[in-house]
Amino acid sequence: MFGFSIRIVWYCLLMAAALIHFVRRQPDSYWLWIILLLGPIGSLIYLAAQALPELRDPGTFNFMSRNAGSGNWSLRSGENPSAGNYEELGQLYLDKGQWEKARACFDRSITQRTDSILYRGLGPSSS
């Protein structure tokens, strides 16, 4: 009896995962019908055809390694010296513990912006 109810819970979780992925990615609409009409089998088919290939993509989990892009951000801030680029580069330096570089980037970001104030605990002000 309990095995049957646990199986229903797993089926519902599988369909919920497929539906959430469908809503976020917006693939072709026929996948929605496959998920809804075929139930858990359709959810497995959808996840195998749509979600599994995304996991093999090398860029899927790039958001997890923030420090890997510090060289990229320093190049970007050299090419495009916008306040946002310097703010992101300052945050990367702050995460690495390079306080002087972080402070220089935040100072440059703050002087370029007039619409926001950044509150950072980077020691006493130089002015």
Query: What is the tens place of the pLDDT at every residue in 6-60?
Result: 889 999 999 999 999 999 888 889 999 999 999 999 999 999 999 888 877 665 5
- What distance in Å separates the CA atoms of residue 20 and residue 32, rounded to the nearest whole number? 11
Determine the longest span between alpha carbons in the chain, in angstroms: 73
Q: Are 66 and 92 in contact (CB under 8 A)?
A: yes
Is pTM beyond 0.75 here? no
Helix (H) or strand (E) holding 77: helix 70-79
Burial pattern 24-52, b for ≥16 Cβ within 10 A else e, equals: eeeeeeebbebbeeeebebbeebbeebee
The pLDDT of residue 42? 94
For the chain, the average pLDDT equals 76
